[in-house]
Amino acid sequence: MGEKTSVRGGGDRVSIAAGQIAGRTRATRLALAVVVLGLLATGAPASAASSVHRVTLAMREFVLQPATLYLKAGERVELVIQNRGAVEYEWSAGRGLIDIPYEKGFRTDLLAVLKPRVSGQGYDLEQLMTTNLDTEEGVEGETVNRVSQEVDVEPGGQVVLDFTVPQDAKGMWRMGCFLPGQYESGMYGAILIE
């Protein structure tokens, strides 16, 4: 520890004991380790932004892009639905397609399963309830019971659905726009949850 090191700089000669340099380096490393352990102990995430799976879905005339969304149970998702078309579109997702003349939609609503936080601009979140429809088909015994939600998005608008995918959502879900002629013309897709 008595060994000296000389350093020249600007014409001045400085003498520092080699042990002093090593001691300061160890102290710096120890302080850094304490800070890192403190952050880990408080549960502070290394990068909160990297833990969100951001997916953008574009609605245009007769098409959803991409046509298939891939999600994983347990992951946090930010689904951004944008209307890039010229008219208002609706978006809904579920299982058990209802495609009869007086009613279109899904028997099981995915939004009810996901329970998303909803934000954005130029959108309207609608809750639809249909039971024992008063039509000829309903009278003949074909009744549709459902409670579902859909998002109506005006041109240039967008809605953000922020949610964590629950384990019981695994499997294939359908999504689409049920405005007259849209679904039939190809404005539909799938959501695959592993």
State the pLDDT confidence band at 64, using cuts at 50, 70 and 90: very high
Distances 177 to 55, 104, 146 between C-alpha atoms, Å: 18, 10, 17
Cα angle: 24, vertex 26, 30; to 5 degrees? 115
State the pLDDT confidence band at 40, using cuts at 50, 70 and 90: very low
State the pLDDT confidence band at 14, using cuts at 50, 70 and 90: very low
Query: pLDDT by residue (tens digit) across 90-133?
Result: 999 999 998 887 788 899 999 999 999 999 999 999 887 665 54
In which element (H, E) is residue 32 found? Answer: helix 18-42
Mean pLDDT for 131-154 is 63
DSSP letters for 41-57: HHT--S-GGGGEEEEEE
3 has pLDDT over 60: no
Higher pLDDT, 150 or 19: 150
- Contact, 143 vs 103, CB < 8 A? no
Q: Which residues contact 84 (CB under 8 A, 6 or more apart)?
A: 58, 59, 60
Mean pLDDT for 60-68 is 97
Backbone angles phi, psi at 39, to 5 degrees: -65, -40
Average pLDDT of the chain, as a whole number: 79
For position 67, what pLDDT does the model report? 98
For position 127, what pLDDT does the model report? 83
Assessment of whether the complete model's pTM goes beyond 0.85: no
For position 89, what pLDDT does the model report? 97
**Of 154, 150, 179, 149, the residue nearest 83 (C-alpha):** 154
